[in-house]
Amino acid sequence: MSQENNPQDSKNPEQPQNPEIEQPTDANQEDTLEETVLMEENLSEKYSELEAKVSQYHDELLRAHAEMENIRRRSQEDVAKARKFSTESFAESLVPVKDSLEAALAIENQTQEALKEGVESTLRQLTQAFERNHLKEVAPAVGDKFDPNLHQAISSVPSADVEANCVLQSLQKGYTIADRVLRPALVMVSAGKQ
């Protein structure tokens, strides 16, 4: 047999060299092209969706940032107003006290008893004003334990009657406002027996 008569050895461009591999046909190429176009359209749609989401998130971020700035600004304004008007309630409580004192001074030829009664009434008004505004007295009694947070020791004196580190004498009342020391009570402290 010659090589010319062997159909396997001849090179025919229309026949596949390897019969197991199928050569693409026009239908397969069209299907592949359609799939590629569909994939590109899907990718384009997904890209558009993602762009829209990014734009939405960016908008939400800007709005959240603006809202935080508004909250910060309002908070600063509230703090400024609170500082400005924090004494308003206390001042309202003191106005009647001033009115009472002025009324007492306006009366001529008062008796000692009437003057004392007026001062006691004014003191009650002042005490009520203090209570409404959480202003409390710190008036340690003799024998109370010395508290450096509420008391200020002027001196330490030996005493046989009062044990050491206790109040021997209260010289001036102290005051707290809302559990904060406004003025410590001035006291003399016992040094104990010597």
Look at residue 116 and tell me whether its pLDDT is greater than 50.
yes
- 41, pLDDT greater than 80: yes
Query: Where does residue 189 rank: exposed (0-12), middle (13-18), buried (19+ CB within 10 A)?
Result: buried
SS3 176: strand
3-state secondary structure 6-33: CCCCCCCCCCCCCCCCCCCCHHHHHHHH
pLDDT digits 0-9 by tens, 157-193: 998 888 889 999 999 999 999 889 999 999 999 987 8
107 secondary structure, DSSP code: -
Residue 103 has pLDDT above 80, yes or no: yes
Instruction: Find how far residue 119's CA is from the centre of its chain.
Output: 45
> Rounded to whole angstroms, how far apart are CA atoms 182 and 170?
17
106 pLDDT tier (thresholds 50, 70, 90):
confident
Tell me the average pLDDT of the chain. Answer: 85
Sign for the CA dihedral angle at 139, 143, 144, 150 comes to positive
pLDDT of residue 25: 60
- pLDDT range class, residue 108, cuts 50, 70, 90: confident
**Whose CA is closest to 93, among 64, 62, 122?**
122
Q: What is the pLDDT of residues 55-85, one digit of tens each?
A: 999 999 999 999 999 999 999 999 988 888 8
Report residue 2's pLDDT band, with 50, 70 and 90 as the boundaries: very low
| The model scores a pTM over 0.85 | no
Q: Which residue has the higher pLDDT, 61 or 86?
A: 61
- pLDDT at 47 exceeding the cut of 80: yes
Report the percent of the chain where pLDDT is more than 90: 48
Mean pLDDT of 140-169: 92
Asked whether the predicted pLDDT for residue 6 surpasses 80, the reply is no
Nearest to 136 by CA among 174, 171, 172: 174
* Of 142, 138, 149, residue with least CA distance to 166: 142
Tell which CATH architecture fits domain 135-194.
Roll (2.30)
114: Cβ–Cβ under 8 A, 6 or more apart, which residues? 107
The rounded distance, in Å, linking the Cα atoms of 5 and 150 is: 123
Give CA 170 to chain center in angstroms. Answer: 41
